[in-house]
C-alpha cells in the first residue's frame, strides 16, 4: 500500500458529463479512496476543467459532503438550489453539504485545476444525481 503518491499514480476517472467527444473528457485522477490505499471515509483527487469546454452539470451527491479547492485558473459555479452563480478563482475553497445541488464550468481561456475531497470511501459510494 502506497502512502506517498505522485499525480501520475492516480486512477483516471473520466467525468462523463464533461465529455466533448467519445475520446475527449475532463481529466480527473483519484489518488486516495477505498481502492487506492484502503481509505474508509474519504476520496481525494485532482481534476482539470479545460478552457471553454468543461461544464459540470447541476448535480448532487446524496451520500457525501464534498470540498474542492481551486489550484489554478478560474470557473463559474454555485452551491444550493436558487443560488446565484459566481466566479471561483485560484485559492478559493468550495464546501458542498451532503445532498446540496452544485455545479462548475469553465468559460475562460485557461484550464481550471482543482483538488477535491468527498466524505465517502469512493465516488460510487458518494452517489451522483444530475438535476435537470
**pLDDT tens digit sequence for 22-78:** 555 678 899 999 999 899 999 999 999 888 877 788 899 999 999 999 999 999 999
Q: What is the pTM of this model?
A: 0.89
Closest by CA position to 47, among listed 7, 76, 77, 3: 7
Query: For residue 62, what is its C-alpha cell?
Result: 446524496
CATH (domain of 22)? 2.60.120.10
Q: How many helices (H) and strands (E) does the chain have?
A: 1, 11
Domains in the chain: how many in total?
A: 1
Residue 11 pLDDT > 60: yes
Query: For residue 92, what is its C-alpha cell?
Result: 478559493
Q: What is the pLDDT of residues 40-50, one digit of tens each?
A: 999 999 999 88
Query: Is 69 part of a structural domain of the chain?
Result: yes
pLDDT of residue 79: 96
Query: Is 84 part of a structural domain of the chain?
Result: yes
Query: Is 46 part of a structural domain of the chain?
Result: yes
Please give the C-alpha separations between residue 128 and each of 32, 89, 125, in angstroms, as whole numbers.
18, 24, 9
Query: For residue 30, what is its C-alpha cell?
Result: 483519484
pLDDT of residue 80: 93
Q: Find the domain containing 61 and state its range.
A: 7-130
Amino acid at each position: 500500500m502506497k502512502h506517498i503518491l505522485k499525480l501520475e499514480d492516480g486512477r483516471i476517472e473520466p467525468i462523463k458529463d464533461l465529455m466533448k467527444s467519445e475520446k475527449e473528457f475532463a481529466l480527473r485522477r483519484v489518488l486516495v479512496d477505498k481502492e487506492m490505499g484502503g481509505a474508509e471515509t474519504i476520496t481525494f483527487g485532482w481534476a482539470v476543467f479545460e478552457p471553454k469546454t468543461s461544464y459540470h452539470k447541476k448535480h448532487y451527491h446524496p451520500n457525501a459532503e464534498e470540498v474542492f479547492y481551486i489550484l489554478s485558473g478560474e470557473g463559474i459555479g454555485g452551491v444550493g438550489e436558487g443560488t446565484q452563480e459566481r466566479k471561483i478563482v485560484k485559492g478559493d475553497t468550495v464546501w458542498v453539504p451532503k445532498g446540496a445541488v452544485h455545479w462548475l464550468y469553465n468559460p475562460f481561456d485557461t484550464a481550471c485545476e482543482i483538488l477535491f475531497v468527498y466524505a465517502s470511501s469512493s465516488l460510487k459510494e458518494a452517489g451522483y444525481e444530475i438535476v435537470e
